[in-house]
Amino acid sequence: MGRSAFIGLLLSIFCLLLPIAALAADLPPLSGRVVDNAGIIDAGTRAALTQKLADFEKKGSDQIVVATIPTLGGEEIEPYANRLFRFWKLGQAKENNGVLLLVAPNDRKMRIEVGYGLEGTLTDLHTKLIIENDMVPAFRAGDFSGGISKAVDDMIMVLEGNPEELEARGKRNEQAPFNSDDLFFAIFITLWALIFFGSI
Q: What is the CATH number of the domain that holds 90?
A: 3.10.310.50
**From CA 107, how far away is CA 3, in angstroms rounded?**
49
pLDDT digits (tens, 9 = 90+) for 164-195: 999 998 888 776 444 445 444 445 455 545 56
3-state class (DSSP) for residue 100: strand
pLDDT digits (tens, 9 = 90+) for 126-155: 999 999 999 999 999 999 999 999 999 999
pTM of the model: 0.75
Helices 164-174, 144-159: axis angle to 10 degrees equals 130
Domain assignment present for 5: no
Rama region for 77: left / alpha / beta (φ>0; ψ in -120 to 50; rest)? alpha
Q: What is the pLDDT of residue 171?
A: 84
2 neighbors 34 (Cβ within 8 angstroms): no
Q: Reading across the β-sheet that carries 109-114, which strands appear in turn? A: 34-36, 63-68, 98-104, 109-114
Q: What is the pLDDT of residue 194?
A: 58
Domain assignment present for 46: yes
The boundaries of the domain holding residue 100 are 29-174
The angle at the Cα of 117, spanning 75 to 112, to the nearest 5 degrees, equals 35
Domain assignment present for 95: yes
With 60 as the cut, is the pLDDT of residue 63 above it?
Answer: yes
DSSP code of residue 29: P
Domain assignment present for 197: no
Domain assignment present for 7: no
Domain assignment present for 67: yes
DSSP code of residue 105: G
192 or 97: which leads in pLDDT: 97
**From CA 5, how far away is CA 94, in angstroms rounded?**
43
Nearest to 148 by CA among 51, 18, 42, 31: 42
**From CA 197, how far away is CA 27, in angstroms rounded?**
67
Give the H or E element holding residue 19.
helix 3-25
Work out the number of other CB atoms within 10 angstroms of the CB of residue 114: 27
User: E-strand spans in 69-163?
Assistant: 98-104, 109-114
**From CA 46, how far away is CA 149, in angstroms rounded?**
9
- The number of domains in the chain is 1
Domain assignment present for 96: yes
Q: Which residues pair with 103 in a beta bridge?
A: 68, 110
Q: What is the pLDDT of residue 100?
A: 98
